[in-house]
Amino acid sequence: MASFSVNGEHREVDIQASHPLLWVLRERLGLTGTKFGCGIGQCGACTVLVDGAPTRSCQTPVGSVEGSEVTTIEGLAANGLTSVQSAWIEEQVPQCGYCQSGQIVSATALLNARPRPTDEEIDQFMAGNICRCGAYTAIRKAIHRAAELEEDRVSGDEV
């Protein structure tokens, strides 16, 4: 029995501890926003946050997230679109869109760690997320835009 929290909700799943988190999310919990791309942690389509850290869920045994808080793309927008998602829409990033859940989750983690990342930091942090459509320029722009939106949001809250 695996027991952990997903998008703020406590979940218990009767499954082997070695089962990859990706497939528990997709097949047992119906959270299909997180995608399967390579199965070996090379493409980033399956990226989720585990206690805030970007994690390749295809390589993560569900037993290793016991008691942890998992956030998927579906959980980001629980209280309306996040700054990253708003920026993604503003910059019209997605093409086929298949990698974008992973891109958005990775970008969210990046901005949590570095609220104003440089291009080099973006390239470094996002290197694990492949976009076969080549939407990289738009991704870079959207991350900068999300940083601005988040600053505005925070300063707006202070006012």
Partner 1 sequence: MTEPTKEVSPYDHQSLSRGAFIKISVVAGVGLTLGVSWRATQTPDLPFSDAAFVPNAYLRIDTDGSITILVDKAEMGQGVSTALPQMIAEELDVPWADVTFEFAAAHDAYGMMVTGGSTAVMESWEPLRQAGATARWMLREAAAQRWGISSELLATRDARVCAPDGSELTYASLASEAAKLQAPNKVDVKKPSEFRLIGQSLPRLDVEAKSTGQAVFGIDAGPPDARVAVIARSPVFGGRLRSFDSSAALAIAGVDEVLEVQSGVAVVAKGYIEANAGRDALVLDWDEGDAALFSDEQLYEALRDGAQASGHTVRDDGQAAQILNESSNAISATFRFPYLAHATMEPMNCTAWVREGRCTVWAPTQFANGPAILGGGARQVAADAAGVSVEDTDLHVTFLGGGFGRRAERDFVQEAAELAGKINGPVKVVWSREDDMRHDFYRPASWHELRATLDADGRPEAWEHRMASQSILQRLVPGWIPRPAARFAGKHDPTSTEGASDQPYAIPHVLMTYKRVDLPIPVGFWRSVGHTHTGFVVESFIDELAHKSDHDPYEYRRALLRKHPRHLGVLEAVAEAADWNSRPPEGRGRGIAVVESFGSYVAQVAEVSVQNGVPRVHKVWCAIDCGTVLNPRIVQAQMESGIAYGITAALYGEINIRDGRAVQGNFTDYQMLRIGQMPEVDVLLVPSGDAPGGVGEPGTPPIAPAIANAIFTLTGQRIRTLPIRL
Of 63-71, 109-117, 136-144, 146-154: span binding partner 1 (CB under 8 A): 136-144
Decide if residue 97 touches partner 1 (CB under 8 A): yes
Decide if residue 149 touches partner 1 (CB under 8 A): no
Count of residues of this chain found to bind partner 1 when the rule CB under 8 A is applied: 56
Site string for partner 1, 70-89 (x = CB under 8 A): --xxx-xx---x---x--xx
Q: What is the Cα–Cα distance from 50 to 127, expressed in whole angstroms?
A: 19
Of the candidates 130, 75, 157, 68, the residue with the CA atom closest to the CA atom of residue 108: 75
- CA torsion, points 106, 108, 109, 112, in degrees to nearest 10? 160
- Scanning residues 11 to 30, which ones bind partner 1 (CB under 8 A)? 19-20, 23, 27-28, 30
Q: Residue 130: count other Cβ atoms within 10 Å of its Cβ.
A: 18
The per-residue b/e assignment along 73-86, b for 16 or more CB within 10 angstroms, e otherwise, is bbbbeeeeebbbbb
Q: Which is nearer to partner 1, 69 or 121 (CB)?
A: 121
Sign, CA dihedral 40-44-48-53, equals positive
Binding site for partner 1 (CB under 8 A): 19-20, 23, 27-28, 30-40, 42-43, 45, 72-74, 76-77, 81, 85, 88-89, 92-101, 104, 122-124, 126-127, 129-140
